[in-house]
């Protein structure tokens, strides 16, 4: 697939029954940075990536490994996708540790960070990427249970993991959070999801100021419509078919499109950047 090609008809209509979805069932498959050539920018670093089995997390894991990092891949229950990502990391010379579990649990988040440190002896980069969304036509359709689940999945783990990771991070370490274009533009069917992503913006900018004296940087990436398993797992066939084609660049983003931003924030190339957001959205909005 040529990721630069404008799409007139979008993707083939498709859905999946549960989220966060399975990448191996998607048609077409998302484009990953398997051609990425590293330059040693993360040599000797250890990165923990939530939602690292597929989509954006998988792409970041591949690129980080190509840059010399070892990776802890957290995922919920997508074993096949996770094993494939592990193999791609190892093909690029990185060590990969799979950690299956739900990051909405504070206890699991504590275990996840400790296991990373026990396995590799250090932790340098935390990528908070896992998320869920439940489109609804009306605010009245959002139950209290859905609201709580969206918040407990999308923002609570960023608090938990950042808190538990901080004692192990040092000068030059980096926390990178995945927010969304929805918090800047709004989305009529993703009210709870967009609000969690807005919370991530405030959290990122505030934590960045709090830990700046320690030389730890905290930044975020705001993806636009990216072709990941979350899309067919949460939208109907008609929405999937037209997904992303209305952007100025005329196509949905691919996980491959995101990795430059994450590598920049994780590496010394971004050493003078903290509390910042990079928008990767096909031209939908140019604002911080």
Q: How many Cα atoms sit within 13 Å of 96 on the Cβ side?
A: 29
Nearest-CA neighbor of 267 among 164, 157, 176? Answer: 176
Instruction: Please confirm, yes or no, whether 193 is among the known catalytic residues.
Output: yes
User: Catalytic pick from 36, 75, 156, 193?
Assistant: 193
Residue 11 · residue 241 · CB < 8 Å = yes
Residue 200 · residue 154 · CB < 8 Å = yes
The Cα–Cα gap between 151 and 213 comes to 29
The Cα–Cα gap between 32 and 47 comes to 18
The sign of the dihedral angle between the CA atoms of 53, 208, 37, 181 is positive
Task: State CA 132 to chain mean position distance.
Answer: 11
The Cα–Cα gap between 266 and 126 comes to 9
3-class DSSP assignment, residue 232: helix
Catalytic residues: 193
């Amino acid at each position: 697939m040529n990721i630069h090609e404008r799409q007139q008809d979008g993707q083939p209509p498709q859905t999946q029954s549960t989220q966060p979805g399975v990448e191996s069932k998607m048609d077409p498959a998302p484009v990953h940075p398997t051609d990425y050539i590293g330059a040693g920018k993360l040599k000797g670093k250890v990165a923990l990536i939530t939602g690292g089995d597929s989509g954006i997390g998988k792409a970041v894991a591949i690129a980080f490994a190509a840059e010399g990092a070892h990776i802890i891949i957290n995922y919920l229950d997508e074993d096949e996708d996770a094993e494939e990502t592990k193999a791609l990391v190892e093909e690029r010379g990185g060590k990969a540790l799979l950690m299956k579990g739900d990051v909405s649990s504070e206890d699991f988040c504590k275990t996840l960070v400790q296991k990373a440190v026990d396995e590799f002896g250090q932790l340098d980069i935390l990528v908070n990427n896992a998320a869920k969304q439940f489109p609804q036509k009306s605010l009245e359709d959002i139950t209290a249970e859905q609201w709580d689940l969206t918040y407990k999945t999308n923002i609570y783990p960023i608090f938990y993991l950042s808190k538990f990771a901080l004692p192990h991070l040092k000068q030059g370490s980096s926390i990178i959070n995945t927010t969304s274009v929805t918090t800047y533009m709004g989305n009529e069917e993703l009210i709870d999801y967009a609000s969690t992503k807005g919370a991530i913006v405030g959290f990122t900018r505030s934590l960045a100021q709090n830990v700046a004296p320690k030389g730890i940087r905290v930044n975020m990436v705001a993806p636009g419509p990216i072709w990941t398993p979350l899309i067919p797992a949460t939208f109907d066939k008609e929405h999937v078919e037209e997904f992303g084609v209305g952007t100025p660049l005329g196509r949905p983003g691919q996980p491959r499109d995101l990795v430059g931003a994450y590598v920049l924030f994780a590496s010394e190339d971004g050493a003078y950047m903290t509390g910042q957001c990079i928008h990767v959205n096909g031209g939908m909005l140019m604002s911080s």
